[in-house]
Structure 1
Amino acid sequence: MRHPERRLLICVDMERYSRRSNVQQYEAQRDFHQLLEEAASDVGLDRVGWTTQQAGDGELAILPRDLPEARIIGRFVPELNRRLRRYNASRLPVARIRLRVAVHQGMVHLDGAKGFPGQAVVLVSRLCDAAVVRRALAAFPDGGIALVVSSDIYRDVVTEYPEEIRPERFRRIDVVHADKGFQEQAWLCVVDEDITSWVDDGSLVPTLPPGDPTPEPTRSTDPERGGSVRAGSEPGGAPPVSGGIRTGDITVEGQNAIGPGAMAIGSVGRDAILRPGTDR
């Protein structure tokens, strides 16, 4: 067994590949690899040196150790996105190629018998397959790439060496695969789309102004959706009310929401009132 090497990893997966006919899958595979080659060549990258593990609808790539990471995030991904948009503009939705792309770095064995052993490979694959990343790409039908990067890549590359993809275009997410016991934070963007106004089901962490502390809300896992939701925002539940008291269906707000012997009377919801000085 050779010693593992620290490398940059890219996992790419094609949207809705299995829904295509045989001929459409054949054409999608061919055009997918051609688009990758052309985008890499245009930004000065030689894919001959990439160690890849192929799948019908994507690939896992282990990049050469001397390849600049900022060129992958800041130039290769945007160029691939531009080519995908041009490619898709003249095609029916069923024939379009749209990608989920995940980027991470870590230790990996390059001499595995059936692939590339290493937790870094597991993590980048989980990021690429995350439900929240799938939903983000589906929410922007004109987009070509939903890009998700690990926290290390966001901190060390995106924020330090921004080129065409800038840090403010990313949203922090929780990636959860409950059936696999996996949970990690990552950063997501849909290239050339504004996802700051996109409302997901709670897997997106709220964006705060610079300098504000990051909130740490209580979270509960939702294994059916592959993401996590904040307490009080579970599907079918009532939203939390700020600054008041809620008991069952009765919500009380304002100064009278506290104090001994207070009792809610009248209507329920936001119009409930209190009668002070009475027993509960």
Structure 2
Amino acid sequence: MVTHDYRVLLTADIENCGGRTDAQQRTLQSGLISTIETAADRVQLDHGAWERQVGGDSLTVHLPAEPGPFVTIPLLLDQFLTELDVAIAAHNSRRSDPTWARMRMRLAVHVGPLQLDGAAGWPGQHAVQPARLRDSAPIRTALDTFRDADLALIVSREVFRDYVSQGPGRPRPSEFLEVAVAEKKQEYTAYLYVPHFDVHDMEIPESQPSSDTPSSPPRSIGSIKNRVKRGDILFAQGDINVAREPKGKKK
């Protein structure tokens, strides 16, 4: 009998790690683990209890069932994200290291029923989705757009709907940009955030429609679904009141 556990999933990947020297890749791999563990320690998240899958320049974990998503997700998106941004900046300041290379990280957070007893990992759509979001065009475009940013976050529709939009906490819902992700014949709605920058200023290129849905109208890989005015937002049957934000880095 297949059993599922409702878990929070976190996955991170380093931008352009494969384009660095062997020595730099080794340093970046170490930096990926150390910055995440440092941030977890600073907000009292027990990373020793995380179940991990490591893939060179990427790390995917599912967090323990306790204390539960309603505690864990706000902590991840608020305090942990802040501390991770600080830890990455500290790593990037060590330019005297002969194997130094700037680290820029793509981070994704998802939540859902997970099969924990697979023969070679965690099978199922909820295990796959966060990696697809992490590697998607919108979050890559975010780091391409905001070259001074060290970190970009993308969260699934479930995380945004059930946790971010319910507040309180940071980031506020209006600081996220809703995007459409198309990866490997799968399409997802997700929400993008870059600390210190206004993601509503992004220009995301159009893509061709998915090959598995030829009859559907063209859809952007990273289409801007809404531009949300800062402050409170109103939900009505899944819709959001929208308004255009001025361009520029957030103060």
How does the TM-score come out when normalised to structure 1? 0.70
Match of 2:156 in 1: 150
Deviation at 1:6, TM superposition (A): 0.9
What percent of counterpart residues are identical?
Answer: 33
Task: Report the AA paired with residue 196 of structure 2.
Answer: D
Deviation at 1:70, TM superposition (A): 1.2
Superimposed CA distance per residue, residues 138-185 of structure 1 (whole angstroms, 9 cap, x where no aligned partner): 2112212110001110122112234332221100000012xx221111
- CA contact under 8 A between 2:31 and 2:91: conserved in structure 1? no
Task: Report the AA paired with residue 207 of structure 1.
Answer: R
Structure 1 residues 206 and 3, CA gap change in structure 2 (3 angstroms): closer
Unaligned runs of 5+ in 2: 207-222, 241-251
| Distance (Å, rounded) in 2 between the aligned partners of 1:184 and 1:36 | 26
| Distance (Å, rounded) in 1 between the aligned partners of 2:159 and 2:235 | 22
The answer to whether structure 1 residue 192 and structure 2 residue 196 are counterparts is yes
- CA contact under 8 A between 1:107 and 1:119: conserved in structure 2? no
- CA contact under 8 A between 1:174 and 1:205: conserved in structure 2? yes
Unaligned runs of 5+ in 1: 216-280
The answer to whether structure 1 residue 167 and structure 2 residue 173 are counterparts is yes
Match of 2:113, SS state, is strand
Number of corresponding residues = 212
- CA contact under 8 A between 1:10 and 1:104: conserved in structure 2? yes
1:70 to 69, 74, 98: 74
Deviation at 1:109, TM superposition (A): 1.5
- CA contact under 8 A between 1:74 and 1:162: conserved in structure 2? no
Deviation at 1:208, TM superposition (A): 4.8
Match of 1:31 in 2: 31
- CA contact under 8 A between 1:104 and 1:150: conserved in structure 2? yes
Match of 1:143, SS state, is coil
- CA contact under 8 A between 1:85 and 1:142: conserved in structure 2? no
| Distance (Å, rounded) in 1 between the aligned partners of 2:132 and 2:76 | 20
Match of 2:41, SS state, is helix
Structure 1 residues 26 and 208, CA gap change in structure 2 (3 angstroms): closer
> Relative contact order (alpha carbons < 8 A, sep ≥ 6): 1 or 2 greater?
2
- CA contact under 8 A between 2:103 and 2:150: conserved in structure 1? yes
Match of 2:226, SS state, is coil
Superimposed CA distance per residue, residues 4-54 of structure 1 (whole angstroms, 9 cap, x where no aligned partner): 211001111110010011100111111221111111000011100000101
Deviation at 1:112, TM superposition (A): 1.3
Compare 167-176 and 63-72 and name the one that shifted more.
Answer: 63-72
Structure number, greater radius of gyration? 1
- CA contact under 8 A between 2:174 and 2:228: conserved in structure 1? no
Deviation at 1:212, TM superposition (A): 8.9
| Distance (Å, rounded) in 2 between the aligned partners of 1:208 and 1:17 | 33
Task: Report the AA paired with residue 109 of structure 2.
Answer: V
Structure 1 residues 31 and 20, CA gap change in structure 2 (3 angstroms): same
1:83 to 72, 81, 87: 87
Match of 1:196, SS state, is helix
Match of 1:107, SS state, is strand
Q: RMSD of aligned C-alpha atoms?
A: 2.1
1:204 to 224, 235, 239: 224
Deviation at 1:97, TM superposition (A): 1.1
- CA contact under 8 A between 1:78 and 1:165: conserved in structure 2? no
Give the structure with the higher percent strand: 1
